[in-house]
């Protein structure tokens, strides 16, 4: 009996020559229960429910007919295209800057991670008041120091979206700089020695030593950052609230607007679902990139 059961188990298991069942494997299964419970209650069920809510093709038709939605798609594209790439490009440059061993730059690097260490809500609200065109500090300083009438930061839709992108970059730049610094530190020093002996210039060292070594990391960071930026609700919602005239929404804030301000749950879910054509390939690539190396 036992032998038979074991044989069946071995046949069913995907791996060949599967090890026999041991008490340790029982414990392994038991210790996974808390996570699996959390996963089903709070991931599978809400996501499944969301897909079910977004099943009505009619909501998508209404969505495409809504000018606010179309504007939101453009905003999201700009937020991602500019926000992600500018942020990572700056992080690439700053990671080189902060690799410098000058003592004052080391001190500066400690200060530099403040935006990442401080909660985002207070700082976004601080930006919001600072950028107020009539009473904010920025325009106040522009007037006091240069006698310039500052622009309507959060009133002009283009500037408002630009401000939100700036706030986003401000918050996440330190994180990506740290990641790229870690990537740079992992490059063996011999490579630079060899390049130096060959008489490589600084640009050549970057092009032939640094970049090939961190290119993979840079691409992974770009993909990961795209997903996270897609989910950045706070930078828009607390800075502009989607305004003026609902012209600065991104998909994440528009979904919440439909569902909770307009009480149209299925429209809200449909809004979010329209991000799936970007999200699913990104997730697929990232799982291969991040998951593969764990084994």
Partner 1 sequence: MAARSEARVRGTTPRRGLWDLVAHPVRRVLEEGFMAVLGVVILIWTILPIYHMAIVSITPLTDAFAGKFWPERPTLENYQTVLFQEHYFLREFWRQLGNSLFVALATMAIVLFVASLASFAISRLKARYGHVVSNTALLTYLIPMAFVAIPFYRVMSDYGLLNTLWALTFAMATFATPYAIWVFRQYSDTIPFELDEAARVDGATPLQLYWLVYLPLMRPAMIAIGTYALLLAWNEYLYAFLLLHNEERATIPVAMGFFLNTDDAPWSLLMATAIIYSLPPAALYYSVRRYMVSGLTAGATKA
**Residues within window 129-168 making contact with partner 1, judged by CB under 8 A:** 129-130, 132, 134-141, 144
Separation CA 105–CA 177 (nearest Å): 14
Rounded Cα distance between 249 and 88, Å, is 23
Closer to partner 1 at the Cβ: 99 or 155?
A: 99
> Site for partner 1 (CB under 8 A): which residue of 60, 112, 152, 208?
112
Which one, 70 or 283, has the nearer CB to partner 1? 283
Q: Which is nearer to partner 1, 64 or 283 (CB)?
A: 283
Window 185 to 214, contacts with partner 1 (CB under 8 A): 185-189, 192-193, 195-196, 199-202, 205
Binder to partner 1 among 5, 64, 105, 148 (CB under 8 A)?
Answer: 105
Residue 206 C-beta: closest distance to partner 1, Å: 10
Radius of gyration of the chain from Cα atoms? 25
Q: Which residue number, 58 or 198, has a Cβ lying nearer to partner 1?
A: 198
DSSP 21-57: P-HHHHHHHHHHHHHHHHHIIIIIHHHHHHHHHTT-H
Of the candidate residues 101, 103, 263, 277, the single one contacting partner 1 (CB under 8 A): 101
Q: Which residue, 259, 284, 283, is CA-closest to 271?
A: 259
Examine residue 232 and tell whether it contacts partner 1 (CB under 8 A): yes
Cis ω before 29 (30° cut-off from 0)? no
Q: Give least dist CB 168 to partner 1, A.
A: 13
Contacting partner 1 within 25-54 (CB under 8 A): 25, 27-32, 34-36, 38-39, 41-43, 45-47, 49-50, 53
Binding-site size, partner 1 (CB under 8 A): 119
* 66-85 residues near partner 1, rule: CB under 8 A: none
Does position 281 bind partner 1 by CB under 8 A? no
CA-CA-CA-CA torsion sign (224, 230, 235, 238)? negative
- Output the CA torsion 256→74→233→239 (10° steps): -110
- CA dist 230 and 250 (Å) reads 8
Quick check: 169 and 90 in contact, CB under 8 A?
A: yes
The Cα–Cα gap between 155 and 88 comes to 28
Q: Which of 68, 78, 82, 113 binds partner 1 (CB under 8 A)?
A: 113
Q: Which of 64, 77, 121, 262 binds partner 1 (CB under 8 A)?
A: 121
Q: 250: closest CA among 223, 263, 232, 225?
A: 232
- What residues between 245 and 264 interact with partner 1 by CB under 8 A? 252, 255-256, 259-260
């Amino acid at each position: 009996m036992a032998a038979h059961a074991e044989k069946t188990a071995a046949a069913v298991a995907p791996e060949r020559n599967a090890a026999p069942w041991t008490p340790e494997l029982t414990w392994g299964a038991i210790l996974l229960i808390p996570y699996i419970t959390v996963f089903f209650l709070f991931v599978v069920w809400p996501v499944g429910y969301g897909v079910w809510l977004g099943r009505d093709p009619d909501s998508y038709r209404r969505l495409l007919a809504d000018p606010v939605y179309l504007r939101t798609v453009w905003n999201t594209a700009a937020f991602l295209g500019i926000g992600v790439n500018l942020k990572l490009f700056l992080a690439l440059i700053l990671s080189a800057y902060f690799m410098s061993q000058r003592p004052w730059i080391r001190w500066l690097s400690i200060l530099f991670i403040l935006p990442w260490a401080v909660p985002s809500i207070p700082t976004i609200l601080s930006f919001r008041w600072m950028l107020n065109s009539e009473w904010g500090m920025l325009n106040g300083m522009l007037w006091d120091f240069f006698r310039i009438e500052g622009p309507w930061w959060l009133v002009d839709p283009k500037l408002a979206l630009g401000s939100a992108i700036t706030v986003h970059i401000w918050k996440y730049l330190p994180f990506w700089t740290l990641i790229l610094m870690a990537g740079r530190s992992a490059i063996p020093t011999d490579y630079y020695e060899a390049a130096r002996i060959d008489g490589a210039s600084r640009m050549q060292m970057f092009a032939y030593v640094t970049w090939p070594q961190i290119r993979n990391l840079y691409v992974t960071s770009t993909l990961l950052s795209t997903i996270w930026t897609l989910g950045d609700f706070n930078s828009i919602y607390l800075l502009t609230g989607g305004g003026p005239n609902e012209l600065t929404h991104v998909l994440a804030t528009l979904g919440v607007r439909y569902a909770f301000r307009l009480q149209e749950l299925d429209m809200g879910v449909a809004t979010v679902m329209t991000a799936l054509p970007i999200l699913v390939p990104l997730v697929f690539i990232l799982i291969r990139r991040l998951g593969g190396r764990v084994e």
